[in-house]
Amino acid sequence: MVKKIWKGFYIGTIYLFLYLPIFLLIIYSFNDSKYRGNWNGFTFRWYRELLRDHTIVSALYNTFAIAVLSALIATIIGTAAAIGIYHMSPKAKTVWMNITYLPVLNPDIVIGISLLALFVWMKMKLGFLTLLLAHVTFNIPYVVLAVLPKMYQLNPYLEEAALDLGATPLQAFFKVILPEILPGVITGGLLAFTLSLDDFMVSFFTTGSGVNTLSIKVYSMTKLGVSPKINALSTILFVGVLGLLAILQRRANNMKE
Question: Domains, the chain, ranges and CATH?
Answer: 54-255 (1.10.3720.10)
CB 62 within 8 A of CB 197: no
| pLDDT score for 256 | 59
For residues 132 and 118, give the distance between their C-alpha atoms in angstroms, rounded to a whole number. Answer: 14
Q: Which residues of 216-248 are buried (b: 16+ CB within 10 A; e: fewer)?
A: bbbeeeeeeeebbbbbbbbbeeeeeeeeeeeee
Going by pLDDT thresholds of 50, 70 and 90, the confidence category of residue 251 is low
Better-scored residue on pLDDT, 224 or 68: 68
Q: What is the pLDDT of residue 73?
A: 96
The alpha-helical segments, DSSP class H, found in the chain are 2-28, 45-52, 54-86, 90-105, 108-121, 128-153, 158-164, 169-172, 178-198, 201-206, 214-221, 228-256
**Structure confidence at residue 78 (pLDDT):** 94
As a whole number of angstroms, the distance between CA 232 and CA 29 comes to 5
Measured between alpha carbons, how far is 81 from 100 in angstroms, rounded to an integer?
10
pLDDT value of position 22: 86
Long-range pairs for 250-254: beta carbons < 8 A, 24 or more residues apart: 252/183
pLDDT at 134: 93
28-42, 74-88, 143-157: range with highest mean pLDDT:
74-88
- Mean pLDDT check: name the lowest of 108-112, 133-137, 224-228, 235-239: 224-228
Return the pLDDT at 177: 86
Q: What is the pLDDT of residue 50?
A: 83
pLDDT band at residue 257 under the 50/70/90 scheme: low
pLDDT tens digits, one per residue of 62-78: 999 999 999 999 999 99
Please, which pLDDT band fits residue 230 given cuts at 50, 70 and 90?
A: confident
| Average pLDDT value for residue range 107-122 | 91
pTM for the full model? Answer: 0.84
